């Protein structure tokens, strides 16, 4: 079969890499892809937001189905338009994608259906939000309502810092229309984990879990990023905790969306925290995570193509999804200056000097006119490896990542340490 994958990050490279392990997959097209996907698939120069062109590409290349990686086209309704065109596609509809695309919708849903989460209030008025902040004790969590590339959340340590963040979102339009509404919520403490489950809207698979690192520097210092590394599974995770997550959060959320005429199909990603008061939901995402995908795909033993078709054809309950017991760690190599200003077009060397059991997933890369790999984004690569233990997996990654170089390259040295 032929498949179209939409996106250009390390997540999409990992998805393509896993799909190609199924002997039934003969060819994959990636729109727009990166230098990594160019080596194993056919890149198409189509933007993830050009939905009519993506529909045409799926039709002209006679793909069996399309797999959507990032949240932006999902929130824009790509699934609805593909379905209208009679084309199979993996991912939630525009209405269901509001679980990520609107923090206000998501929090209202959780409160209405008693899905455990932090107490919160939503505001569309800067003045009203400012007054409310002045009644709270720090830390204070402020979230832009809409999509903000994983950077629309501020944990303010003082009321003054909270007001600055509020001004940045609502008045200075740092995130454009995404900051026209905000959610202000209580600060939670505990152990965080990302929980992923496949669902066809009727049944839902057992979860796979991971932990990621948002801050750019070691010891969780510096500004938030799209993610600097991850590992799977968390050392504190067990089957009992997984069943709690499914019973208290994931299954009720699927039922709640169905009750709101927004039946959900695809991957549901819950950001959960184990707090002293029990399991709480931090947020939901409507797709696989990045950098978590880069550490859960190496652990997936079931064909991703089979899973995707089972979800699309609403027969997921008949499929037994298996995961390797071996832990996996992944470390992101970023451009110097990221998440602020950074250079691009810098040559990347050492990609051919790695151990065979280490995999590199490309993100911000492209091929130059000579066919050589150069940087093309903030997060450039994810280096990942499995091991008999998390310590061994981590050591494999760090033994190899130092062999890769490009000017200004930066990566955290503490991924999977805690």
Rounded Cα distance, 4 and 66, in Å: 5
Residues 129 and 123: beta-carbon distance below 8 Å: yes
pLDDT of residue 6: 98
Contacts of 306 (CB under 8 A, 6+ apart): 22, 319
> Which tens digit of pLDDT belongs to each residue from 161-181?
999 999 999 999 999 999 999
Backbone angles phi, psi at 393, to 5 degrees: -60, -45
Question: CATH 3.30.1380.20: does it fit domain 2-93?
Answer: no
The per-residue pLDDT for 180 is 92
Helical ranges in 153-203 per DSSP H: 159-170
Q: Is the CA virtual torsion 235, 238, 241, 243 positive or negative?
A: positive
DSSP H helices in 61-196: 71-75, 78-84, 98-101, 103-112, 126-133, 159-170
- List Cβ neighbours of 418 (8 Å cut-off, separation of 6 or more): none
- pLDDT tier at 223 (50, 70, 90 boundaries)? confident
Q: What is the pLDDT of residue 418?
A: 81
Contact between residue 2 and residue 60 where contact means Cβ atoms under 8 Å apart: no
Using CA atoms, how far apart are residues 159 and 140, in angstroms rounded to an integer?
Answer: 7
Give Cα separations from 66 to 35, 70, 73, 131, 164 (angstroms): 20, 13, 12, 47, 42
Structure tokens at 367: 């091929």
- The mean predicted confidence, pLDDT, of the chain is 96
Q: Is the pLDDT of residue 224 over 90?
A: no
The pLDDT of 334-353, averaged and rounded, is 97
Q: What is the pLDDT of residues 117-153, one digit of tens each?
A: 999 999 999 999 999 998 998 899 999 999 987 778 8
Instruction: Answer whether 204's CB lies under 8 Å from 249's CB.
Output: no
Q: Are 384 and 361 in contact (CB under 8 A)?
A: yes
Bond preceding residue 339 cis, omega within 30 of 0: yes
Read off the pLDDT of residues 59-88 as tens digits, 9 standing for 90 and up: 999 999 999 999 999 999 999 999 999 999
Segment 269-294, tens digit of pLDDT = 999 999 999 999 999 999 999 999 99
Contact predicate 35/367, CB 8 Å: yes
Per-residue pLDDT at 59: 98
Using CA atoms, how far residue 408 sits from 156, 230, 269, in Å, is 30, 22, 33
Distance CA 177, CA 278 (A): 34
Sign of the alpha-carbon torsion through 382, 326, 201, 307? positive
CATH class label, 328-401: alpha beta
DSSP state of 187: P
pLDDT at res. 358: 98
Q: Are 117 and 187 a contacting pair, CB within 8 Å? A: no
Tens digit of pLDDT for each residue in 349-403? 999 999 999 999 999 999 999 999 999 999 999 999 999 999 999 999 999 999 9
Cα three-residue angle 265-100-7, rounded to 5 degrees: 75
Helix count (H) and strand count (E) of the chain?
14, 21
Query: What does the domain layout of the chain look like in residue ranges?
Result: 2-93, 120-185, 191-318, 328-401
For position 152, what pLDDT does the model report? 86
At residue 324, the pLDDT reads 97
Name the residue among 103, 129, 96 with its Cα closest to residue 286.
Answer: 96
Among positive and negative, which fits the CA dihedral 310, 312, 315, 317?
A: positive
- Output the pTM of the full model: 0.95
List pLDDT tens digits, range 100-121: 999 999 999 999 999 999 999 9
Q: Does domain 120-185 have CATH number 3.30.1490.20?
A: yes
| Consecutive H or E run containing 293 | helix 293-296
- β 191-199/328-334 pair status: unpaired
**Residue 14 parent element (H or E):** helix 10-19
CA 84 vs CA 47, 90, 159, 267: distances in Å = 20, 14, 48, 21
How far, in Å, CA of 400 to CA of 390, rounded?
Answer: 16
Q: What is the mean pLDDT of residues 174-189?
A: 93
CATH class of 191-318: alpha beta
Neighbours of 69 (CB within 10 A): 28
The CA-based angle 72-41-70, given to 5 degrees, is 10
């Amino acid at each position: 079969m032929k498949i179209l994958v939409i996106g250009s990050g390390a997540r999409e490279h990992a998805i393509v890499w896993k799909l190609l392990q199924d002997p039934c997959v003969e060819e994959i097209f990636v729109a727009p892809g990166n230098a990594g996907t160019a080596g194993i698939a056919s890149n198409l120069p189509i933007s993830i937001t050009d939905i009519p062109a993506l529909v045409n590409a799926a039709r002209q290349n006679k793909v069996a189905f399309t797999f959507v990686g990032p949240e932006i086209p999902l929130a824009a309704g790509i699934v609805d338009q593909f379905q209208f065109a009679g084309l199979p596609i993996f991912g939630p509809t525009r209405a269901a994608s509001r679980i990520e695309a609107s923090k206000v919708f998501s929090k209202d849903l959780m409160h209405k259906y008693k899905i455990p989460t932090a107490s919160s209030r939503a505001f569309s008025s800067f003045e009203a939000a400012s007054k409310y902040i002045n009644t709270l004790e720090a830390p204070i969590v402020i979230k832009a309502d809409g999509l903000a590339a994983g950077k629309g959340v501020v944990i303010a340590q003082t009321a003054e810092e909270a007001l600055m963040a509020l001004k940045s979102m609502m008045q200075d339009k740092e995130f454009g229309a995404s900051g026209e509404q905000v959610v202000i919520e209580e600060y939670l403490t505990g152990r965080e984990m990302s929980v992923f489950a496949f669902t066809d809207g009727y049944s839902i698979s057992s979860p796979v879990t991971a932990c990621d690192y948002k801050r750019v520097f070691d010891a969780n210092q510096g500004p938030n990023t799209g993610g600097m590394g991850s590992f799977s599974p968390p050392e504190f995770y067990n089957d009992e905790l997984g069943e709690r997550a499914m019973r208290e959060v994931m299954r009720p959320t699927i039922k709640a969306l169905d009750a709101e005429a927004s039946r959900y199909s695809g991957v549901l990603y819950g950001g959960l925290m184990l707090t002293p008061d029990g399991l709480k939901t931090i947020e939901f995402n409507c797709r696989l995570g990045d950098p978590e995908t880069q550490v859960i795909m190496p652990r997936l033993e079931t064909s991703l193509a089979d899973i995707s078709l089972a979800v699309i054809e609403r027969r997921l309950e008949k499929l037994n999804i298996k995961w390797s017991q071996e832990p996996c760690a992944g470390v992101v190599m970023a451009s110097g200056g990221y998440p602020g200003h950074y250079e691009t077009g810098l040559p990347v060397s050492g990609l051919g000097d790695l151990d065979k059991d280490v995999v590199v997933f490309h993100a911000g890369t492209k091929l130059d006119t000579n066919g050589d790999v150069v940087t093309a984004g903030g997060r450039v690569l994810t280096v990942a490896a499995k091991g008999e233990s998390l310590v061994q997996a981590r050591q494999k990654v760090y033994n190899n990542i130092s062999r890769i170089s490009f000017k200004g390259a930066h990566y955290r040295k503490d991924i999977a340490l805690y």
